[in-house]
Amino acid sequence: MLTEAVINELRSIVGRENVHAGPAELVAYSFDATFPQHPPDVAVTPASTDEVSRIMKLANRERLPVISRGAGTSLSGGVIPLTGGIVMALTRMNRILEIDHVNSCALVEAGVITGEFQTRVEKEGLFYPPDPSSLAQCTLGGNVACCSGGPRCLKYGVTKDYVLGLTIVLADGQVLEWGGKLMKNVTGYNLAQLFIGSEGTLGTVTQMILRLVPLPKFRSTAAAFFPKLTDATNAVVGILSEGILPATLEIMDQLTINVVEQYAQIGLLTDVEALLILEQDGNDQGAVQREVEVMAEVCRRFGASEVRVAKDAAERDQLWRARRSISGALGRYRPSKLGEDIVVPRGQIPAMVARVKEIGQQHGLAIPVFGHAGDGNLHPNILFDMRNPGELERVQAAAADIFRAALALGGTLTGEHGIGTLKKEFLEEALGPLGVQIMRDIKQALDPKGLLNPGKMFPTPGGSALESFITALPTLEGMTPG
Ligand SMILES: Cc1cc2nc3c(=O)[nH]c(=O)nc-3n(C[C@H](O)[C@H](O)[C@H](O)COP(=O)(O)OP(=O)(O)OC[C@H]3O[C@@H](n4cnc5c(N)ncnc54)[C@H](O)[C@@H]3O)c2cc1C
């Protein structure tokens, strides 16, 4: 139980000013980028692995839930303290400790902001590719916990492909150092990969050794507009069959384009059904330009009415700013949204996009689709207003249909946002009972008291998808949705 004595112990570990227990402070730690909300009993902001370890020892002794938190940009309800407990926010652990050119890696603390890290290494001619659209806010620790991706992951891979070593504080406070500045390492089970994507349910990541690659010298970006959505989805498959691996291959449907254009006003065509953003990078400028031209030609062949190649870095940045603003811009259309993150085999993208459109019509909901078409990772966003009676139930039914459609096409529930609260009741449909049982056994071995991020990832025994969806809702009174 969280007594005044426990709060005083926390104060003695992290300092009085880093224990946050007032009602207004707790609100700041009660939500993420989805709509559920619940306050913790207390929030702490430790400054070192040792402090995290001492907090965990205390929580373990007192059997208190602990929710590790980065910037709170989770899109799965993953960081909400559903049953209270201690939120442990790693935001003060924000030092880039070393950039090692010889070994092409960096030693960082978990609370470093992803975009700040990228800017810093790029100044030194190095490159850290994983680029979630939230990179101006999210933390590297959160990225590891969710195995985040982004547009560049088609060519460069996701967060897990860049983690060489981790420092992890376990549920009982022990500190595990795993891996090192090693490009190859098959000594024992790959425990680092077990923690990556575990959404704070197995341990708290406090430091990482991240692999860096040389910064490509040239980039070229193009926007291809398609009067027909199906032509755009077919063009994705066409481009990837040309023997080119683009740095990015992103799709936006018409509603997404319109909302983004209203917000960003950069002259996107709005009377088309789809836009593909194509990018290539590399060290040979001519080769980069040629590959973008080939991709543009494929788009024209598949029915693009216009292809614009960015003339300079300013035009390219404008396009990417627009792409990164989608999530926020959709809020202008409806006050609430449920952003999904399904993945299908690339060849099934046309079928999946068509299914999402049908599902939207069946449930009377607007479901814009955008995402990383090149790697089959789509973000159908269900737009709604949770204040309207019955609307949330329709949203939940549409989400279930989208998950099942993805699974039927050989896909999965999530490519980068994680399971969190909102997808957990579908885990067994995706992984089968044996897969989920093995996960439960691992959780039991590492967190026998069930203290780490409780209520996330695993289906509730006897729970239904609808129940978990609705019980995750905030109290609506006095709240602005969205
Ligand atoms: C506008 C917007 C755009 C986004 N775009 C993308 C995108 O393109 N690609 C993508 O992959 N994601 C995207 N996201 C989702 C989100 O930004 C990522 O999941 C990100 O990695 C979360 O980082 P965070 O620091 O905010 O973590 P939080 O939201 O604070 O936490 C997320 C999860 O990680 C756990 N966690 C956090 N830190 C630690 C730690 N140090 N140790 C252990 N567990 C920890 C939490 O318990 C929680 O389960 C987007 C979100 C928004 C709001």
**pLDDT tens per residue, range 96-138:** 999 999 999 999 999 999 999 999 999 999 999 999 999 999 9
As a whole number, mean pLDDT of residues 433-454 equals 98
Q: Is the CB of 68 under 6 A from ligand 1?
A: yes
Amino acid code (one letter) for 465: A
Q: Is the CB of 296 under 6 A from ligand 1?
A: no
Q: How far is the CA of 242 from the centre of ligand 1 (A)?
A: 34
The best mutation among 68, 169, 379 to test binding of ligand 1, ranked by most ligand atoms within 8 Å of the C-beta, falls on 68
- Look at residue 250 and give its three-state secondary structure: strand
Q: Is the CB of 90 under 6 A from ligand 1?
A: yes
* Distance of alpha carbon 210 from alpha carbon 166, whole angstroms: 9
- pLDDT at position 390: 87
Q: Is the CB of 380 under 6 A from ligand 1?
A: no
Q: For residue 93, is pLDDT > 80?
A: yes
Q: Is the CB of 158 under 6 A from ligand 1?
A: no
Q: Is the CB of 199 under 6 A from ligand 1?
A: yes
Cα radius of gyration rounded to whole Å, the chain: 22
Q: Is the CB of 200 under 6 A from ligand 1?
A: yes
Question: How confident is the model over 299-318, as pLDDT tens digits?
Answer: 999 999 999 999 999 999 98
- pLDDT at position 387: 86
The best mutation among 56, 148, 326, 456 to test binding of ligand 1, ranked by most ligand atoms within 8 Å of the C-beta, falls on 148
Q: How far is the CA of 32 from the centre of ligand 1 (A)?
A: 9
Question: How confident is the model over 339-381, as pLDDT tens digits?
Answer: 999 999 988 998 999 999 999 999 999 999 999 999 999 999 9
Q: How far is the CA of 201 from the centre of ligand 1 (A)?
A: 14
Nearest Cα to Cα of residue 416 among 353, 340, 303, 362: 340
Q: Is the CB of 138 under 6 A from ligand 1?
A: yes
CA 191 to chain centre: 21
End-to-end CA distance of the chain: give it in Å, rounded.
33
Q: Is the CB of 169 under 6 A from ligand 1?
A: no
Q: Is the CB of 72 under 6 A from ligand 1?
A: yes
Instruction: Name the residue with higher pLDDT: 461 or 116.
Output: 116
Q: For residue 468, is pLDDT > 60?
A: no
Q: How confident is the model at residue 67 (pLDDT cuts 50, 70, 90)?
A: very high
Nearest Cα to Cα of residue 38 among 58, 67, 18, 60: 67
- pLDDT at position 1: 75
Domain 4-89 in this protein, CATH class: alpha beta
Q: How confident is the model at residue 461 (pLDDT cuts 50, 70, 90)?
A: confident
Considering the entire predicted model, what is its pTM?
A: 0.94
Nearest Cα to Cα of residue 355 among 428, 420, 410: 410
Q: How far is the CA of 44 from the centre of ligand 1 (A)?
A: 18
- pLDDT at position 465: 56
The best mutation among 94, 134, 453, 457 to test binding of ligand 1, ranked by most ligand atoms within 8 Å of the C-beta, falls on 134
Q: Is the CB of 235 under 6 A from ligand 1?
A: no
- pLDDT at position 333: 87
Amino acid code (one letter) for 100: D
- pLDDT at position 355: 96
Q: For residue 50, is pLDDT > 50?
A: yes
DSSP letter at 199 equals: T
Cα–Cα separations (whole angstroms), residue 159 to 118, 350, 419: 13, 27, 17
Q: Is the CB of 160 under 6 A from ligand 1?
A: no
Q: For residue 441, is pLDDT > 70?
A: yes
Q: How far is the CA of 239 from the centre of ligand 1 (A)?
A: 30
Q: Do domains 96-214 and 332-471 have the same CATH topology?
A: no
- pLDDT at position 475: 43
Q: Is the CB of 149 under 6 A from ligand 1?
A: yes
Domain coordinates in residue numbering, the chain? 4-89, 96-214, 218-329, 332-471
Instruction: Name the residue with higher pLDDT: 264 or 140.
Output: 140
What is the percentage of the chain residues whose pLDDT exceeds 90?
86
**Mean pLDDT across the chain:** 93
The best mutation among 48, 74, 88, 336 to test binding of ligand 1, ranked by most ligand atoms within 8 Å of the C-beta, falls on 74
Tell me the fold of 218-329. Answer: Alpha-Beta Plaits (3.30.70)
Q: How far is the CA of 138 from the centre of ligand 1 (A)?
A: 6
Q: Give the atom of ligand 1 at the shortest distance from the alpha carbon of 143.
A: 21
Domain 332-471 in this protein, CATH class: alpha beta
Q: How far is the CA of 372 from the centre of ligand 1 (A)?
A: 17
* Distance of alpha carbon 76 from alpha carbon 217, whole angstroms: 36
Q: How confident is the model at residue 477 (pLDDT cuts 50, 70, 90)?
A: very low
Select from 1.10.3130.10, 3.30.465.10, 3.30.950.10, 1.10.1040.10 the CATH code of 96-214.
3.30.465.10
Q: What are phi and psi of 409, to 5 degrees?
A: -90, 10
CA atoms within 13 A on the CB side of 422: 30
> Are 143 and 73 in contact, with CB atoms under 8 Å apart?
no
Q: How far is the CA of 114 from the centre of ligand 1 (A)?
A: 10
- pLDDT at position 479: 33
* Distance of alpha carbon 410 from alpha carbon 284, whole angstroms: 37
Q: How far is the CA of 293 from the centre of ligand 1 (A)?
A: 35
When mean pLDDT is compared across 84-88, 223-227, 236-240, the lowest value belongs to: 236-240
Q: Is the CB of 167 under 6 A from ligand 1?
A: no
- Look at residue 416 and give its three-state secondary structure: coil
- pLDDT at position 410: 98
Determine if residue 453 is left, alpha or beta; phi over 0 gives left, psi from -120 to 50 gives alpha, anything else beta.
left
Q: How confident is the model at residue 463 (pLDDT cuts 50, 70, 90)?
A: low
Q: Is the CB of 204 under 6 A from ligand 1?
A: yes
Q: How confident is the model at residue 473 (pLDDT cuts 50, 70, 90)?
A: low
- pLDDT at position 470: 53
The CA-based angle 67-406-162, given to 5 degrees, is 50
